[in-house]
Structure 1
Amino acid sequence: MTGRMAAFASKPQASLGRLIPEPDEKHRSCFARDRDRIIHASAFRRLKQKTQVFVAHEGDHFRTRLTHSLEVAQIARSIARALHLDEDLTEALALAHDLGHTPFGHAGERELDRLMKMYGGFDHNAQALRIVTSLENHYAAFDGLNLTWETLEGLVKHNGPLTDADGNAIGHYREQGVPAAIIDYVQAHDLRLATYASAEAQVAAVADDIAYNGHDIDDGLRAKLFSVIDLGDVPLAGQALGQVLNAYPNLETSRVIHECVRRVISAMVGDVLGQSERNISKDAPKSPEEVRLLGHTLVSFSAQMKENNRMLQQFLSAHMYQHPRVTEIMGRAQRVVRDLFEAYMTDPSLMPDDWRQAHPRTEDSSRARQVCDFLAGMTDNFALEQHRRLFDLDPLFR
């Protein structure tokens, strides 16, 4: 981190520390160590073969969870630098935000949540917390990565508080309640679920929105799910397309796509910076604690950009996420998750011995949760290979 830091930026020297204390390092801040541990985690490497929208085998140039996470980190670092926040903490959160995702994207998550309903359900944020606090088991002194309080807080609360002041679940968790993995962890390490997270965590969250809006346009066009001309009336994308065609009327399509996407991303980043600076001027937070207690996000889009994003997401939902090609393959992918879950529940010995030894069942861990952890950690390719091995058929019927 270089340059002056904002008064409300997270300061590594003021960190609330780790659950298991460790000595400081001379040449790396505690947040930089968190980032490095995340990059070296097995779960992070597995993101290279986990679906963003398209199953891994469908093409080399479509985004995976890994490339998405790298794009989020790049955008988040840029915003953090402009707002004078801690870049290491911001980057750590950007890189870690998708660690808990299942194979086959949101289709895999929906199916695993359905299968786990009677066992506490499945939530990718809760799974990410499980990964970094217990399931990664490479260090001699502790399970998990023993990350700082600020990184864990941001991982759990980057989209806002999980409960109200009385402990009642709110927002995304209002109906089903806060996942047990999060509730159990905060008994030992209170992450203050009723407050907002740091400005760095808010940057990581908004960078996630910017990255997937931009690259889903790119991937949808590459997959020919819609055409460039279809973007003409879509906010953000339509304006960007007009700018590109006016400046370069004879440009080949591949370059038109890239120029359009980079303008969409730049417009969203510029909007976040402008609106966040206005918020900072109005709220004038003087510490990270004041950011947490504001009662609203400090880092945000403008109202107009939120509406533009909503309309862009509406377009992508209709033309991409709900496209028959995508829904058909994801329906088959859900069958893979369902078949594997049922097989492992019936006969746990089908799971590898070394994995079961490293993650044994305990009094607090049911067989279903053990199976869920194994399945959630799979890459697309590994899940397909295991299905082929157990059922002797091509699960996607290609």
Structure 2
Amino acid sequence: MAVASYFYPPLAPYASDSRQSRGRLVAEPVSPTRTEFHRDRDRIVHATAFRRLKHKTQVFVAPEGDHYRTRLTHTIEVAQIARSLARALGLDEDLAETLALAHDLGHTPFGHTGEDALDEVMRPYGGFDHNAQSLRIVTRLERRYAGFDGLNLCWESLEGLVKHNGPLLEPDGQPIPKYRERGIPVAILEYDALNPLDLGSHASAEAQAAAIADDIAYDAADIDDGLRAGLFALDDLGHAVPLAGAFLEQIRDLYPALDKAREINELTRRVITRLVEDVITEATRAIAEVQPETVDDIRGCGRTLVQFSEQIRDYDRGIKDFLFANVYRHARVIPVRREAAMVVKDLFKAFFDHPVAMPPLWSADIADLDEARRARRVADFIAGMTDRYALDEHRRLFDRTPDLR
């Protein structure tokens, strides 16, 4: 019995169309039931690295409660917002969701603390960048298919993964300021040499939607988690961030006897709604101004089109400044982050000095590698760890392991 061809929903002319994809590095037969971007989304969901996100923390290391975000729950929230933006703007929802689901695959255990620690010990060998690590995972480290390493994603998915925050090169070919001093991560340059990703252009509107969805989810989630952890009070936030204060006043006028948990939910719900609606309005305005007729017009227009308005951009900066001071640098959080960094550095030194302490899959043929590639192998192993596994390995190798609570 023949399988019916997939129905392609109508898209805006500037959207990414999977039928016009630049393809996969290793050619594969076309699916009769899924678009190419749909297949990419499914491959991310079934990846080992995606499952590990369940036990990688977001801000709170080894949280005692079950209601704080992990990398997985954050990723699901980003994907939901990215799909909403894509639908409103006439974009390919599957590609937007693929990029949202894949954007944190390269994160280490213990959130940004783990990344900073791994970057520090990897400085002599090119450093560590979670975005570059995500690319390594989907192009090399996942081993699920007989015909290739990685997931063999479409060009558009790889481009969006690398450039969702914008170009990596200036018009004159120099690295953007973020990479000016240390250079673009080697993993990105190596893959770009094999399959050029046009590092000097913007990514698709779908990638831009996934990037701004990450910002929105971060703001709302860290407010929610910080409040539930008791790191700051609702009124502290309201006084520091005028928009949040206006929402609180509105909520208390409507529901004067509301309990704290529901008050928090009402606030975060309003934050997400306001930010999403602002992005849709601003992106619609910017797209009408540029009048792109193809996805390449989006890439070549010289600026990000799916973003906040200036007013909400100021709010976003305000909320991030507040969270930096009251969550990420809170007196209760800093000692835990310091000990988490110590765990990562201890593990790196132990495995670098004694590679046979790693499982056979990781230690095999490592004696044949030069120092830089041996370090990268160790970094790949540590970056893939969940928080729990990293602590278990530390206990196995060291006499004292911090509790991280």
TM-score, normalisation: structure 1: 0.97
**Distance in 1 between residues matched to 2:352 and 2:153, nearest whole Å:** 32
Residue 96 (structure 1) aligned to one of 95, 102, 112? 102
Write the deviation string for residues 24-49 of structure 1: whole angstroms up to 9, x where unpaired: 10110000000000000000000111
* Alpha-carbon shift at residue 396 of structure 1 (Å): 3.0
* Alpha-carbon shift at residue 365 of structure 1 (Å): 6.2
> Does the 8 Å contact 2:141/2:149 carry over to 1?
yes
Partner of residue 3, structure 2: none
* Alpha-carbon shift at residue 2 of structure 1 (Å): 6.8
1:21 to 1:360, Cα distance in 2 relative to 1, 3 A: farther
Partner of residue 155, structure 2: 149
Identity of aligned residues (%): 57
**Distance in 2 between residues matched to 1:362 and 1:86, nearest whole Å:** 42
Partner of residue 261, structure 1: 268
Write the deviation string for residues 111-145 of structure 1: whole angstroms up to 9, x where unpaired: 11010000110000000000000000111000000
**Distance in 1 between residues matched to 2:404 and 2:50, nearest whole Å:** 29
Partner of residue 194, structure 2: 188
Partner of residue 28, structure 1: 34
Write the deviation string for residues 41-60 of structure 1: whole angstroms up to 9, x where unpaired: 00000011111001134321
**Distance in 1 between residues matched to 2:379 and 2:401, nearest whole Å:** 22
Partner of residue 376, structure 1: 383
1:44 to 1:18, Cα distance in 2 relative to 1, 3 A: same
**Distance in 2 between residues matched to 1:169 and 1:219, nearest whole Å:** 36
Partner of residue 367, structure 1: 374
Alignment of 1:221-240 (within 5 A): 221-233=227-239, 234-240=241-247
Residue 306 (structure 1) aligned to one of 296, 310, 313? 313
Residue 391 (structure 1) aligned to one of 383, 387, 398? 398
One-letter amino acid of the structure 2 residue matched with residue 152 of structure 1: L
Verify: 1:76 aligned to 2:82, yes or no: yes
SS at match of 1:85: coil
SS at match of 1:103: coil
Partner of residue 326, structure 1: 333
One-letter amino acid of the structure 2 residue matched with residue 254 of structure 1: A
Alignment of 1:202-351 (within 5 A): 202-233=208-239, 234-351=241-358
Equivalent pairs, count: 398
One-letter amino acid of the structure 2 residue matched with residue 119 of structure 1: Y
**Distance in 2 between residues matched to 1:100 and 1:227, nearest whole Å:** 33
TM-score, normalisation: structure 2: 0.95
5+ long unaligned stretches in structure 1: none
**Distance in 2 between residues matched to 1:57 and 1:321, nearest whole Å:** 14
Partner of residue 67, structure 1: 73
One-letter amino acid of the structure 1 residue matched with residue 129 of structure 2: D
* Alpha-carbon shift at residue 362 of structure 1 (Å): 4.8
Residue 121 (structure 2) aligned to one of 115, 119, 128? 115
Write the deviation string for residues 62-82 of structure 1: whole angstroms up to 9, x where unpaired: 101110000000000001000
**Distance in 1 between residues matched to 2:392 and 2:358, nearest whole Å:** 13
Q: CA RMSD in A?
A: 1.6
> Does the 8 Å contact 2:336/2:404 carry over to 1?
no
Partner of residue 47, structure 2: 41
**Distance in 1 between residues matched to 2:119 and 2:310, nearest whole Å:** 33
* Alpha-carbon shift at residue 364 of structure 1 (Å): 9.7
Write the deviation string for residues 342-375 of structure 1: whole angstroms up to 9, x where unpaired: 1111100100113334989656961111100001
**Distance in 1 between residues matched to 2:349 and 2:249, nearest whole Å:** 51
SS at match of 1:146: coil
Write the deviation string for residues 269-325 of structure 1: whole angstroms up to 9, x where unpaired: 010001001001111100000000000011110001100110111111111110011
Verify: 1:19 aligned to 2:41, yes or no: no
> Does the 8 Å contact 1:237/1:260 carry over to 2?
yes
Partner of residue 170, structure 1: 176
One-letter amino acid of the structure 2 residue matched with residue 21 of structure 1: A
5+ long unaligned stretches in structure 2: 1-6
Write the deviation string for residues 204-249 of structure 1: whole angstroms up to 9, x where unpaired: 0000000000010000000000011112221332222111111100
**Distance in 1 between residues matched to 2:253 and 2:339, nearest whole Å:** 43
